[in-house]
Amino acid sequence: MLDALGSFLDRSNLSPHGICLLWRPELIWTHVVSDFVIGLAYFTIPVALGVFVTRRSDVAFGWMGWAFAGFILACGTTHFFAIWTLWVPDYAAEALLKAVTAVASLLTAVLLWELLPRALALPSPETLRRANAELVARIRERDEALDALRTAIAERERAEEMLRQTQKMEAIGALTGGVAHDFNNLLGVVIANLDRLARAPLDATAERARGSALKGAERAASLVQKMLAFARRQPLQPTRFDANILIGDLSELLRGALNATEPPEMELAADLWPVRVDANQLENVLLNLAVNARDAMLAQGRPDSRRATIRTRNVPAAEAATRAGLRAVDHVLISVTDRGCGMSPEISARAFEPFFTTKAVGEGTGLGLSQAFGFAKQSGGHILLDSRPGQGTTVEIYLPRDREPAPPPAIPDAFTPAPHLPSSRFA
C-alpha cells in the first residue's frame, strides 16, 4: 500500500507543464494570469455566499449555499494548482484535488436536483407581491369595517343617550305636570279666598298682609304656568301669523330685556313661511331667551356687546328630517344667538330640565328654557341648544309650517255698516 502510494506521488520521472508550452513566456503568463484571476474569484464567491447565508438565516435552503461554497472553493484551488504545475510536476496532488472537487461537484449536483422541486414550489416574487397586495386590501377592508363599526357604535350610543334624555324629560314632565296641576287647584282656592277677603272691611295691617299674600299667590300661579308649559299642559290659543312681523314688533321689548341701547341684530329671511302657534307664548319664549342671553354676556364680561342676534329661515322637510326629533315636514327656524360665556356639554345636557340653573340663588327659577322646550314640543316642533364655553350659545326653535290657506277677507254687507276691524299681526 505504501509502495503504491509512493509510486503514485513519485514525480521524479515527470516534467512540469511548462515544458509542454516550450516555456514560451506569452503562453506561460497567459495561463498564470488567467488561472490566478479565476482562482481568486472562486475564493471570493464562497466568502460572499457564507456572509449572506450567515446574516440571512431566514433564507430557505441555506445549507445549499454552503454546498455551493465548498464546490466553488474546490474549483478555485484546482486553478491555483494549475499555476503550480507549470513549474512543479506535482500532478498526483493535483489529481487528488480534482478527485475531491469531482466528489463535491457531484454531491452538489445531486442535492440541487433533489432540491429543485421544492425550490420551484416556493412562491415567486410576483406571487408574493400579489399576496401582499391582497393582504393589504383585506387589512384596508378590516380597518374600514372597524371604522364603520366604531361609527355605528357611536351613533347607537348617541341614539341611546338621546332616548334616555327623552325618557327622562318625559318622566320629569309627567311629574311636573301632575304636581303643577294639583298645586294650581290649591292656589285657586287660596286666591279665591284672598279675593273674598278684599270685600270685607280690614284694618291697614290686615290689608297689607292680604296684599302680600295675594302677590305671593300670583307669583306662585305664574310659576305653575311655567311648569305646565314645560309639561305641555298649558292651554294654547294658536293663530296663523308671520314670525318676522312678531319679532319686528317685539324688538323694543327685546332691547329692554337685554338692557341694551339698540335692538337686537336681526337676520330675518324673506318670504318666511307662516306658522300656527300661540303668539303670546312665543313672545314669552323670545323674552326669556333674551334675558338668558343678557345674563350670559354679563357673565362673560361683555356689557358693551349685549346685542343678541335673532335669525329666521325656512327649513325644508329633507333638512328637518336630519335633525334630532324633527318630523319630515317643513319647519320655520327661529334662533337666538349670544356671545356670552357659553355652557359645558354637561350643563347643556341638563339645560332644559325644570329648576336647573347655574345662576345664584334668587336670580332665576330655572324654568326659562324648560318653558321654551315645553312650548316647542306642545306646538309640534322642537328646540335645540348649541353652546360652547367662552364662545356663546345658540338656541334654535323649530316650528312646523302652517300649510292651511289663509281665510279670505270678509266682505261686508252692502246695507250694513262694516264694523271696525282692529288690525292684528296674528291674523
- DSSP collapsed to 3 states, 125-144: HHHHHHHHHHHHHHHHHHHH
Q: Is residue 421 part of a domain?
A: no
Same domain, 299 and 357: yes
Same domain, 252 and 379: yes
Task: Using the predicted structure, report yes or no on whether residue 415 has a pLDDT greater than 70.
Answer: no
Task: Using the predicted structure, report yes or no on whether residue 258 has a pLDDT greater than 60.
Answer: yes
Q: Is residue 3 part of a domain?
A: no
Q: What are the backbone dihedrals phi and psi of residue 401, each rounded to the nearest 5 degrees, phi first? A: -70, 140
d(CA 236, CA 225): 12
Residue labelled with grid coordinates 343617550: 161
Domain's final residue, options 86, 105, 122: 122
d(CA 277, CA 378): 9
Residue labelled with grid coordinates 309640534: 380
pLDDT at residue 427, rounded to an integer = 30
Q: Is residue 89 part of a domain?
A: yes
Domain's final residue, options 202, 229, 256: 229
- Structural domain harbouring 48: 8-122
Same domain, 112 and 225: no
Same domain, 276 and 217: no
Task: Using the predicted structure, report yes or no on whether residue 330 has a pLDDT greater than 60.
Answer: yes
Count of the separate structural domains present in the chain = 3
Same domain, 62 and 197: no
Beta strand pairing status for 392-400 and 382-388? antiparallel
The full DSSP string for 148-187 is: HHHHHHHHHHHHHHHHHHHHHHHHHHHHHHHHHHHHHHHH
Task: Using the predicted structure, report yes or no on whether residue 364 has a pLDDT greater than 70.
Answer: no
Q: Is residue 422 part of a domain?
A: no
Which of 69-83, 154-168, 339-353 is modeled with the greatest confidence?
69-83
Of 216-220, 231-235, 416-420, least confident by mean pLDDT is 416-420
Q: Is residue 64 part of a domain?
A: yes
Same domain, 97 and 198: no
Residue type, 277: V
d(CA 408, CA 248): 25
Same domain, 279 and 387: yes
Confidence band for 421, pLDDT divided at 50, 70 and 90: very low
Same domain, 202 and 166: yes
Mean pLDDT of all residues in the chain? Answer: 78
Same domain, 242 and 387: yes
Same domain, 393 and 245: yes
| pLDDT tens per residue across span 48-105 | 888 888 888 777 777 788 888 888 888 888 888 889 888 888 888 888 888 888 888 8
Q: Is residue 80 part of a domain?
A: yes
Alpha helices, H only, 200-330: 204-230, 243-249, 251-258, 279-299, 317-321
Q: Is residue 416 part of a domain?
A: no
Q: Is residue 419 part of a domain?
A: no
Confidence band for 423, pLDDT divided at 50, 70 and 90: very low
d(CA 129, CA 123): 10
Same domain, 37 and 52: yes
Same domain, 297 and 387: yes
φ/ψ region of 413 (left if φ > 0, alpha if ψ in -120 to 50, else beta) reads beta
The residue with greater pLDDT, 176 or 16, is: 16
Domain's final residue, options 170, 195, 229: 229
CATH of the domain at 264: 3.30.565.10
Q: Is the dihedral of CA 20, 24, 28, 31 positive or negative?
A: negative
